[in-house]
Amino acid sequence: MSLSDLFDPIATDMKALDAVIRERLDSEVVLIRTIGEYIVSAGGKRLRPAVLMLVAKALGYKGSDHHLLAAVVEFIHTATLLHDDVVDESDLRRGRSTANAVFGNAASVLVGDYLYSRSFEMMVETRSMQAMAVLSAATTVIAEGEVLQLLNVHDPDVSQERYMQVVRYKTAKLFEAATEVGAILGAADDDLQAAAAALGRHLGTAFQLIDDVLDYSGDAEALGKNVGDDLREGKPTLPLIRVMEVGTDEEKALIRNAIQTGDADFDAVARAIANTDAVEYTRIAARNEAQLALDALAQFPPSEATDALQAMCKFSIERDR
């Protein structure tokens, strides 16, 4: 099943989301409009806003604030990507040159700041203190995750616990915030709101763990980014950490050098990963997270949107991009 199939219950909402994004990216400053249009035209999965709208729909929400808040979530995500690409010195995302590669680091950072500011401006329009509290807290946690990841770079002694904390903060937190806001819009009680947050947290973690796998088993064209980027950036992801735990002394030394320097032989590292259970180990961890997401989703009332969320949990671990 493709993402477009998963989004069928919210096809009209996704079009409305695109309209809000384009409208709110508008600015009298030409460079902001130019970079904004460059980002929007690049596409992207739009998973985070989609799960917000699916949760809201599953819980019977009938208003239109979900379009605005879904755009907020996408703006926050895009801002983090703009800043990430500068920090990581990346030059390819979503199958084409990154904004910083085209427009420069300074412009990318400043437009990222603009998106954060715009997102908070849009939050206020909904007058939902609960939604604002969840999303503003999430931006703080995401920033903490970015710093934690920075501390982990080129450190071959990062433990699974340290790495998973980065995943929870940097990636899963925005998924969690999106699903929780969807539940707030749907007037969910405390238990159902907590279940929605758990759904997003575990779904986001599953997506990141599969990204870790695809960095060593995918291809650049399918992924829309350079395969092996995490390695070149010295990021110790779960497959590498697993090899450090169970590999031979030679394999451990290879991975340690790769993380420390970022310029090791990618093919040799890929062979070391293939020689251990690192890929399957990471896939199992992702499947466990997807199951926890499904367990949380079991508390939702039956609906077409709930079915789509169930399918998304399965898609998160079966995808190849």
- Give the architecture (CATH level 2) of 3-318: Orthogonal Bundle (1.10)
* Helix, strand and coil in the chain, % to nearest 5: 80, 0, 20
C-alpha span between 297 and 313 (Å, rounded): 10
Mean pLDDT of 254-261: 92
Q: What is the mean pLDDT of residues 237-259?
A: 95
The reported pLDDT for the residue numbered 221 is 47
Which H or E run includes 175?
A: helix 173-185
First to last CA, the chain: 13
- pTM listed for this prediction: 0.93
Average pLDDT over residues 103-109: 91
Q: If pLDDT is split at 50, 70 and 90, which confidence band does 158 have?
A: very high
pLDDT at position 223 is 38
Does residue 95 carry a pLDDT above 70?
no
Percent of the chain with pLDDT over 90: 75
How far is the C-alpha of 56 from the C-alpha of 293, rounded, in Å? 16
Pick 214 or 224 by higher pLDDT.
214
165-203 burial: b if 16+ Cβ within 10 Å, else e: bbbbbbbbbbbbbbbbbbbbbbebeeebbebbbbbbbbb
Residue 258 — very low, low, confident or very high, per pLDDT cuts 50/70/90? very high
